[in-house]
Amino acid sequence: MSTGGLVALHTQHLAEPVASTYLDLLGRAIRSARLNKTFPERRQLDGTLRALGAKAHHGLYDGIYLDSRWGLPNMASFTRPVADQGVGAGALAEYESQAELDAKADQADVFARMAAKRRYFELLQTLTLAPVDEHRVLLRRHEPAEARASFRVELTKLSGSGAYLRVVIELTQTSSVWSHKLVDLDVNGEVASGTEALRGMVYRFASYDAETLFIRLHELEGVQVERVQRGIVGPVRFALPTEHGVVSVLEAADDLTSAAWSEACAAAGGQPLMMASFGSDVAALDVREEKSNDPLAPLLSAGIRDVERARYTLLRERHPFRVYKDRKFVASRPLVAGIKSACNDAGCKNLIYPLR
């Protein structure tokens, strides 16, 4: 399979060694981004990116699959190490020792393969991997006398658009209104778990603005939402020179950084380039100013059609939250100035970390 080509719907294959170069750059970009708890956990992402590389699997796979729009590993790639970790945990007990397998590696392909797998499986047992999806519900405060409890709901999700994101919701539920119960507490009132209704709703709305989810939840009787925040990894662009040409994201959407990207690519002179951005989107009661400092994502209100505006305004008046959107970038040095200029032109002041 040639490297960098589209192989299925929104699916791009990166063959080794290009895949490992990409994974190394992306790992460095994520580390450089200094992600806080708004975003999916960096340690898990690090683990998955490491597990996908040839140094980890010792040639067991010929490459990885990416989402050709967003530039991140796709569901098949996120699933691979997780499935291998599970299978490996059981298989290791039945394998011969590493020394025995290494000694027999020349006798037959299967022993060489099992020697490589043993190393890979052993490594996987030490790694924390990024989940394709993960739900958590944490109890923040319980006031039995008031029949009220506050929760923090967290969802990490690889979305259908190819983005890897995290949604965090802080809400208070008054338990007298059972018809809209979103969170169950155990008999001791200590452990919370989300109902299927909450889980499904958050999951479906995770790909939309924080504002949309805030309104949807807040409109439920007995539920008061304090904060909805989203942290989104990507989109990612890369240009990786190979002997057959430059491999890049094939279906990247045009945005304000496209011109800077094209200029840097033209002047790259065979150097690999990467640009990753990390968007955050908060709808909360304690946001002081409603603003988008994200050059790639304007406020929802900016895109509302005139016929909808009156209804939207009425809706917003009912809910006293504000929205703040932001984005930071990590980019190879030749890109930094161009991205900064594009952000300034859009009236945004963004953090732009050079890729280390």
Partner 1 sequence: MAGEKLNLDILQKDVAYTGEGISVKSLEDEISEERDVQNVKVEELKVLRERNVEIQKSLADEVGKLRKFSDYINGTATKGGFWAGFKEVLSHLPGLKNIAISQRSIEELLKQQYQISARRVKEAAEYVDTLKKSEQDLYEEIDRINGKILEAATNEAAAADHVIELKRLIDEIGEEMQTVEAGSVDARDLEAKQDKARAQLAKHSANLQLYSAAEDRYANLKTNTRKLVETIRNLGQDIGQYTTAASIKLDMASAQIQAIGTAADASVVMLELKKSLDVMTESMNATTQFVSDTQVFFRKNLDNLITELDTFDENTSKLLDENLEFSKQIEDERIERAIEKAIKNRAERGDAPPAGEGA
What is d(CA 95, CA 91) in angstroms, rounded to the nearest whole number?
A: 6
What is d(CA 334, CA 26) in angstroms, rounded to the nearest whole number?
A: 17
Q: How many residues are there in the chain?
A: 356
**286 and 310 in contact (C-beta within 8 Å)?**
no
> Using CB under 8 A, which residues numbered 11 to 30 contact partner 1?
11
In whole angstroms, how close is the CB of 159 to partner 1 at the nearest point?
8
Per-residue contact track with partner 1, 116 to 135, x per CB under 8 A?
Answer: -x--------------xx--
Looking at beta carbons only, is 194 or 279 nearer to partner 1?
A: 194
Among 28, 31, 58, 113, binds partner 1 (CB under 8 A): 113
Residue bearing tokens 């796979």: 61
Q: Which residues are CB-neighbours of 210 under 8 A, at least 6 positions away?
A: 167, 228, 229, 230, 281, 282, 283, 323
Among 2, 7, 103, 303, binds partner 1 (CB under 8 A): 7
Considering the rule CB under 8 A, would residue 75 count as an interface residue with partner 1? yes
In whole angstroms, how close is the CB of 111 to partner 1 at the nearest point?
7
Considering the rule CB under 8 A, would residue 160 count as an interface residue with partner 1? yes
Burial class (CB in 10 A: 0-12, 13-18, 19+), 250: middle
3-class secondary-structure state, position 114 = helix
Considering the rule CB under 8 A, would residue 74 count as an interface residue with partner 1? yes
Closest CA to 19 of 67, 56, 52, 59: 52
User: Residues touching partner 1: how many (CB under 8 A)?
Assistant: 41
What is d(CA 320, CA 275) in angstroms, rounded to the nearest whole number?
A: 36
Q: For residue 235, say if its preceding peptide bond is cis, omega within 30 degrees of 0.
A: yes
Burial class (CB in 10 A: 0-12, 13-18, 19+), 116: middle
Per-residue contact track with partner 1, 288 to 307, x per CB under 8 A?
Answer: --------------------
Distances (CA, A) of 284 to 141, 144, 200: 18, 25, 21
Among 43, 59, 83, 186, binds partner 1 (CB under 8 A): 83
Alpha-carbon torsion (23, 203, 136, 153), positive or negative: positive
> Using CB under 8 A, which residues numbered 307 to 346 contact partner 1?
none
Considering the rule CB under 8 A, would residue 196 count as an interface residue with partner 1? yes
3-class secondary-structure state, position 98 = helix
Per-residue contact track with partner 1, 226 to 265, x per CB under 8 A?
Answer: ----------------------------------------
Per-residue contact track with partner 1, 199 to 228, x per CB under 8 A?
Answer: xx--xx--x---------------------
Which of these segments, 1-9, 23-31, 267-275, 286-294, binds partner 1 (CB under 8 A)?
A: 1-9
Considering the rule CB under 8 A, would residue 8 count as an interface residue with partner 1? yes
Among 17, 105, 111, 212, binds partner 1 (CB under 8 A): 111
Residue bearing tokens 């996908």: 52
Kindly list the residues in this chain that would bind partner 1 in the complex (CB under 8 A).
7-11, 65, 67, 74-76, 79-80, 82-84, 86-87, 91, 94, 107-111, 113-114, 117, 132-133, 158-161, 195-197, 199-200, 203-204, 207
